[in-house]
Structure formats: C-alpha cells, structure tokens
Amino acid sequence: MHDSDYYRKIGFKCGLEIHQRLATEHKLFCSCDAGMKPDTKIATVERRQRAVAGELGMMDRSTSFESSRGRGFVYNIFENSTCLVDIDEEPPHDVNGDAVETGIRLSSAFNAKVPDEIEPMRKEVVDGSDPSAFQRSMLIGHDGHIEIDGKKYSITSIFLEEESSGIESSNNETVTYNVDRLGVPLIEVDTAPDIRTPSEARSVALRIGQLLRLTGKRDGDCAKYLVQRGIGSIRQDVNVSIEGGTRVEVKGLQEIGSVDIIIENEVERQMKLLEIKKALLARKAQVGAVQDITKLLSRSGAKMISETLKNGGVVLAAGLPGFAGFIGYEIGANRRLGSEISDYAKMSGVKGIIHSDEDLAKYGFSEGEIESVRKELKLGKDDAFMLVTAQKDMCEKAITLATYRARMAMSEVPPETRAVLDAEKGTTKFMRPLPGGSRMYPETDAKPIVVEHAYRKKILDDTIFAQERIAKIREELGGNLQIADQLIGSPKLQIYEYIASRSKCDKLVVAATLLERMKELERGGLRIDIDDDVMVEIFDKYPEGRLTKAGIVEVIKEMPKSEKEIESVLKKKSLERISGNKLKELIKETGMKGREDVIRAIMSKYRLNVDGEELSIMLGGKNEI
C-alpha cells in the first residue's frame, strides 16, 4: 500500500456513495410491507424499456447504452410486498412519513442542512431494475460533514429514495427481477471527492456505517433502530480518478473490508491504461475496419468457430495496427486490455473476443489459419487483431462494441460504471457508461414536502445520536472498551440493548455471550431464531441463580419459544446451577486437598452447572483446602 504523498502526486480523488435500507414498516410510496419477509409469488409482468431525454432535453449516455441492448424484463409479483404502484399501474401514494422523519434524523447525524421543501424527483433507470424505468429520489440533506481523527470530510448530499428490484436471473435477452424489495425506503449518503487514500476511504465508509446504525429514535429506555441490518441492506459505491484518468464508479461493494483494495486496484488499472494509451499513440496505432472472414475460416479446426459456423453464424474481425503486445498487457490480477475490450463485446451476448496476443493454439487455430487472417487484414509485426464469432446480428453488435472500446484505448480512460468481479483480488468489470445529470426530471405525481421548523424540532428532540449511545454502552459495560467497541460495531447491538434494558442479568455477561458464544454457534451453522422476550427470560435465569454462563448458551442452542420451554430445557438437560451450600457439599465430596485438583475434578463433570468464578472464589486463593 502506498502512502498519502504517492496518492497526492498522482492526483488521486475519491468519493463514496453509501446506500442503506431503512427499517420502516411500509415502502416509500405505498403501504406494501417493507420488511423483506418471505412472500408468495402470484404473477409476472413483462416489459421493455427505452431511454428518453431528461429535464435538460439531453439523452444520458448510460441509459442510451442500456436501451441499445434491447433486452426484455420479467417482474415477479408478490402477494404482500407488491402493488400497482410498484409496477407503475397506479400513481404513487403519499410519501411514507416515517421514512421522511428517518431521513431528517440521519441528515442531522451527518451535520447536514435539511431543505425547507423536499422535492421528489425521477431518475431515469433503463437497466430494468424498476418497471417504471425511473427511480423516485429526493434530496433530504446537503452540505454536511463527518470528522475522523480531527479531519473533516464533506457530505455533499443525502437522498431519500426507492430501493431497486433484485435480480433473480439474467441472460442475453431477458432479465428476471423480484419486485418485493422495490420501493423499500433507502438513504444514500454522498461524500465529496476529498478522501486522500484508499485506507482513508475505508475509515470514512466505516464511520458512515456506524452513524447510520447508531442513530436512533427514543423508545423508552431503548433506541428504535432506523436502518435494516443484514446482507444486502447496505452497499458502498466508490468513485475514483487520477490525473490524466477519469472518474470511474465501482458499484455494489457489500463488504467494507474490501473498499481499500478495490480502490487501490482501480488506481493501478487507470495508471496501466494511461501507459497503454501513451505507447499506442507513440506507435500511431489504429483500429481497422471490420471484415467478414467467415469464408476464410470455413474449415477452421477451432471448435468455437466450427460450431458457430455449423449453426449459420459468422466470423467478424478487425485489424489493430500498432496494438501488438498491448491487448495482452496486464492491468490487474488476471485482467488485461483484452479483458476490458471483451467486457464491452459481452454486452451483446457473446462469450468474449479472441485476439492475437493470446495463445491461439489453445482454441485450435493452426499457424496457417493465423497467418491467413493476418494476411487478409494486411497486418505487420507490430499489429494485432481481434475476432468475434456468433450469429450475424449478435456478432455485428459485439464487434462494434469491441472496436469502440479499442479506440478509447488511444484516447482516454473510459468514464464507466463497473461491478466488482472478485472482492479479494480487487478486480472489477465494465457494467455501463458512467451516468451524467441528464437522467433527472421532476416527479409530477408526488407532492413536495414542506419541512416546518416545529416539525423538524420535534423529530430531533427524540433522536438519539451515535455519541450518546456509544457513551451509554461503554458506561454500562463498566468501561470495558474492548467489549463495548466490539459490540458497537456488531449486528448483535440491537438485541443486546433490548435484553440489557429489560433483564437483571449483568450487562457484561449479556454482551460477552452475544458476541463470543453465540457467534461460535452461528459459525458452526446454527441459525438462532429466538423471540427477544424469550432471550430476556433466558438471561434472567443467571441472576436468579438458576443458570451458569455456560448454561445460558446450552439453553439458547435449544431455541425455546416460551418460558415453559425454557423450564423444560433446564430439566431435560439437567442444567440447574449448583451454587452456595450445594457447591460446598460438592467440594467436600471430591475428597481432594489441592485447589487446582478440586477445580479440575468439579469442572470436568459439572461444567454446565457450576460457575467457575464462584468456585474459584469459594476456594479462595489458597492452594490447599
């Protein structure tokens, strides 16, 4: 990893977009369930979408690109989590007031200004993820900041918007979406491009995530959580550029731990592409005209070619004068310029391209076939070629996209939206051109929301901010910062706060059990599903002298559904705690004198019934008893 001076010298710029689902009961513009619960599919709807001009009368390049792919979309409709609003057959209902309040609370957590009037907008989206071909979005906060180690990071904007549909399956012609999550309220937090290093980006992402999780609404002695938890409920997009390069957006990072490596590799990729550009310009490289070489390869021994031709397909090729050695130029882990060109071609439905920097013998090409192609395309020793084979329409589309990307290799680092290919290696692939501002226009079916001072004050008066919660947790855990800070960053925080506010059990015992012992059970494949109030009952058995710490875990493993079932587990597994005089009797029964011998003898047989700490105290500090 490079230091901050390195990134300053290369003109590194980085900003983040954090997308977090909100924990509301209903969706943003209808009364459908927003809890992402299992639901029954009842119907499907089919649609096609095309790009239209935005408010400024211009077509956005990303929507034009998606529209040109000509794919159809199928939407799975569900019983409780889908309605006519979702499939654009009914106007939006009034905006979800709880979602607006949550947006205002979270905007305040980021020290952002809330507009006096919130204007719903439409953002054109033609990748099929919304049946209406647009996403409803509204600016709910702006000009905020967060602070980490004395440095301020600007939060330029915070949006309240609709979640997209989830992809169930896709192929070259059709994408099938599940509409159950469409319209779930989502908050988007955008930073300015003032992040100086990849590791700094990771720290900023962690802090934003912490503020989203820990900001809450007062609910008695507890805090009501504002955001959903779990896989997929939060996503990070990173925007990266360097001097001479361009802004590239990498979408959908699920794990914050991979943010820095993704950014490092995007910087490396752009630097390699700039090296390629410089070398190609020095060679005066070109992209030649596309030629049909079907007849030339009609008897090819290459299986891919022969099978396609047998089914009536064609082979199209383009010469690349000056490109020799650069199509195979490595720009990342298992990624080359050829991979980038291939990503574009794949958008047509082909499996990829074949190019002359590869070992063509692995495809079954003979030396004679390779030479005949080079001769047909009039290529010299510094020249390369690429070819595509498929049915004619698909093949023409693929070679057009491939040559388009090859030309960009000589002019720029393409402004793109990219998807994570391998999070561990930090590699990404092309998704579509980077969107611009031409896809936004007003939502004429939804009323503006006036945010009066009294309304805003009422919301903020019962908001619990992160620092207050952190201080409270640290204090009630007796200043044990290690456990407290681990808990603050854990998904177990919510259940901890529920139990801690209702149970008489020592809070440190609750925290340690949830963080360590329950985590061990989950790692072992046990999916723990116990009602929160039943969890309180289980932990109450510890201060009542009925269970040991180890016994608590044994009861949790059985996942009881009620107080009666807890009692049944205690009896069935003989988990009643042995304490006080009964423990003294047990010590005498061992007939041993050595303190450590007594502890070993008792704990080996009664580990689940005897509290080790109580036994140790009872034996005192003496070695002989």
Q: Domains of the chain by range and CATH?
A: 4-267 (no CATH), 286-409 (3.30.1360.30), 465-572 (no CATH), 580-619 (no CATH)
pLDDT of residue 623: 41
d(Cα 191, Cα 193) in Å, to the nearest integer?
6
Q: Which residues of 56-65 are buried (b: 16+ CB within 10 A; e: fewer)?
A: eeebbbbbbb
Nearest CA among 405, 379, 399 for reference residue 315: 399
In terms of phi and psi (left: phi > 0; alpha: psi -120 to 50; beta: otherwise), the region of 24 is: beta
What is the rounded distance in angstroms from the CA atom of residue 366 to the CA atom of residue 373?
A: 11
Is 230 a residue whose pLDDT tops 90? Answer: no
Cβ neighbours for 572, distance < 8 A, ≥ 6 positions apart:
none
Residue 621: pLDDT band (50, 70, 90) is low
pLDDT over 50 (residue 624):
no
For the beta carbon of residue 522, count every other beta carbon within 10 angstroms: 11
Torsion of CA 528, 530, 536, 539, to 10 degrees: -40
Task: Report residue 56's pLDDT band, with 50, 70 and 90 as the boundaries.
Answer: low
Burial per residue of 293-330, b for 16 or more beta-carbon CB atoms within 10 angstroms, e otherwise? bbebbeebebebbbebbeeebbbbbbbbbbbbebbbbe
- List the structure tokens of 27: 């969706």
At 59 the three-state DSSP class reads coil
Between these two residues, 360 and 254, which has the higher pLDDT value?
360
**15's tokens:** 């900003």
Model confidence band, residue 622 (pLDDT cutoffs 50, 70, 90): very low
Percent of the chain whose predicted confidence (pLDDT) is above 90:
76
For residue 171, pLDDT over 60 is answered with yes
User: In angstroms, rounded to a whole number, what is the distance separating the alpha carbons of residues 546 and 570?
Assistant: 9
Mean pLDDT of the chain: 92
Instruction: Summarize pLDDT for 250-301 with one digit per residue, the tens.
Output: 998 888 888 999 999 999 999 999 999 999 999 999 999 999 999 999 999 9
Q: Is the pLDDT of residue 625 over 50?
A: no
